[in-house]
Amino acid sequence: MCLAEDKFREECGVCGVFGHPEAANLVYLGLYALQHRGQESAGICSSDEKQLHLEKSLGLVADIFNEKRLKRLPGYAAIGHNRYSTAGGNNPKNAQPILANYSMGQLAIAHNGNLVNAFELRKRLEDQGAIFQSTSDSEVFIHLIAHSKEPELRDRIIEALREVSGSYSLILQTEKKIYAVRDPFGVRPLCLGRVEGAYVVASETCALDLIGATYDRDIEPGEMVEISANGIETMQALSAPRKAFCIFEFIYFARPDSRIFGGITVNMVRKKQGRRLAIENPVDADLVIPVPDSGVPAALGYSEQSGIPFEFGLIRNHYIGRTFIEPKQSIRHFGVKIKLNPVRELLEGKRVIVVDDSIVRGTTSKKIVKMLREQGGAAEVHMKISSPPTTGPCYYGIDTPTRQELIASSHSVEEIKRYTTANSLSYLSQEGLFTTVPNPEDFCSACFDGSYPISFPGQKMQLELLF
């Protein structure tokens, strides 16, 4: 489900290629596959071994890059970035990769995640004379590296990483090398593959699949990979007391066909969530329908476990432009109707189970229930959510509302049910959720239980500025 007023949105997707004559073209395709991770801006930086070349803009990948623009990105190495802003807002200056000139040459960076101590680091760097060109937390990395006194770039990167706190899957590029780094908790995914002798780094394996690359392995939490003409070198740059993979990657963010966090297929986990949801929360009904698109695998799992037929009772419009003009006259629930439409022939007079991945503010769920009754003619509407109640915001790269805006933080399940007007409402338990993934102790579930694995500065002002 992709309804902006009631959903999480993940920050970014990154992709890099080293050692291929069409590196920029392959990164372009990788970003196209990762478009779901960010739709506000996209950019590609390439290297011809003498200098870096950058093209970036606001908009979607396919709208920004054409053949003429890609020809301005020569060389055998390139990195790319899709952005959805969490820290910094939708500003053209915040589009990535960020390219800078410093004492050792040129450096470009593409960052997925969020630094929880960016505010205090930025203030310290500005006091030391740094001039920031953007409001993105990602630019902090550039200044930390530039200010370092270490003689080797890899040591400067490690020194910078030791100062930041938060989540990051990073790709950095110089004229002759690419570095890929993952934070020591491993919050965001990052994988390594190969195509025609070239190395590929990407947020998800769906990017590898599109360009015909093999999936070799994940870049491990705290690992830094250096790729050059001499091959690949790896080092354990940082360590943490535990892993903290984001569980919401499996619930909502990652593409169903991707393999993340050790090669686990997202689609299979989501189907398991649906099966477990059916075991925990059975109900007599005639039909199981998903809220497309992210609710589809869980709805299939619910249907398989319960034996209740599955149908696409809600059809999603995939072609809504960013500048869509709403009608001047008032149309009830227009924001939902333009994205979803019920199939009355399937729903009329039926007891319908609606499976969605999460409820954030609750406003969209309420509109969907009413739409299914009023337009679809459903006799009963039962909401089934394939994750636990979301009670806390995320500080690690997800644009979640404040705690006050999260309906489950201040309302019981029964109260949320009454608000949405559903006949019944059930969530997957946290215990049930963790039966769907291996090694559940390796996952961050702070948005459900408030147990934040990475501490952040206590200044309220900082959190207000960042989130």
- For residue 425, the domain's CATH number is 3.40.50.2020
**18 vs 26: CA distance, rounded Å:** 10
In a domain, 253, yes or no: no
Residue position matching structure tokens 């390594």: 192
In a domain, 414, yes or no: yes
In a domain, 130, yes or no: yes
Q: Which candidate in 12, 45, 191, 447 is catalytic?
A: 12
Do both 121 and 198 map to the same domain? Answer: yes
Q: Which amino acid is at 98?
A: I
Do both 236 and 276 map to the same domain? Answer: no
Do both 229 and 273 map to the same domain? Answer: no
Look at the chain and report how many structural domains it folds into: 2
Do both 388 and 323 map to the same domain? Answer: yes
In a domain, 412, yes or no: yes
Do both 66 and 137 map to the same domain? Answer: yes
Count of Cβ atoms closer than 10 Å to residue 165 Cβ: 17
In a domain, 131, yes or no: yes
Do both 320 and 187 map to the same domain? Answer: no
In 3-state terms, what secondary structure has residue 267?
A: helix
- For residue 164, the 8-state DSSP code is -
Long-range contacts of 101-106 (CB under 8 A, 24+ apart): 102/142, 102/145, 102/146, 103/146, 104/153, 104/156, 104/174, 105/174, 105/175, 106/51, 106/52, 106/174, 106/175
Known active-site residue 12: yes
Write down the H helix ranges in 109-250. 118-127, 139-147, 153-163, 205-210, 248
Query: Which has the closest alpha carbon to 360: 393, 327, 314?
Result: 393
- For residue 207, the domain's CATH number is 3.60.20.10
Q: Which amino acid is at 411?
A: H
Predicted TM-score of the model (pTM): 0.91
pLDDT of the residue at 402 = 75
In a domain, 367, yes or no: yes
Do both 236 and 289 map to the same domain? Answer: no
Do both 223 and 353 map to the same domain? Answer: no
pLDDT of the residue at 332 = 56
pLDDT of the residue at 462 = 42
**120 vs 97: CA distance, rounded Å:** 23
Count of Cβ atoms closer than 10 Å to residue 451 Cβ: 11
pLDDT of the residue at 464 = 39
Do both 211 and 321 map to the same domain? Answer: no
pLDDT of the residue at 467 = 35
**118 vs 121: CA distance, rounded Å:** 5
pLDDT of the residue at 331 = 60
pLDDT of the residue at 136 = 87
Contact 88, 136 (CB under 8 A): yes
pLDDT of the residue at 92 = 82
Q: Which amino acid is at 347?
A: L
Query: Which has the closest alpha carbon to 112: 70, 136, 83, 92?
Result: 83
Contact 48, 64 (CB under 8 A): no
pLDDT of the residue at 4 = 35
Instruction: State the virtual CA torsion across 216, 220, 224, 230 in degrees, nearest 10.
Output: -20
In a domain, 169, yes or no: yes
pLDDT of the residue at 6 = 43
Q: Which residues of the chain have pLDDT under 70?
A: 1-11, 85-90, 319-335, 399-401, 458-467
pLDDT of the residue at 149 = 94
Do both 178 and 303 map to the same domain? Answer: no
Distant-in-sequence, close-in-space partners of 325: CB < 8 Å, separation ≥ 6: none
Do both 36 and 177 map to the same domain? Answer: yes
Q: Residue 400: which domain range?
A: 267-449
Do both 232 and 281 map to the same domain? Answer: no
Query: Which has the closest alpha carbon to 14: 49, 41, 50, 47?
Result: 41
In a domain, 261, yes or no: no
Reading the block at residue 86, the tokens are: 């969490």
pLDDT of the residue at 397 = 77
What does DSSP say about strands 77-83 and 12-18: parallel, antiparallel, or unpaired?
Answer: antiparallel
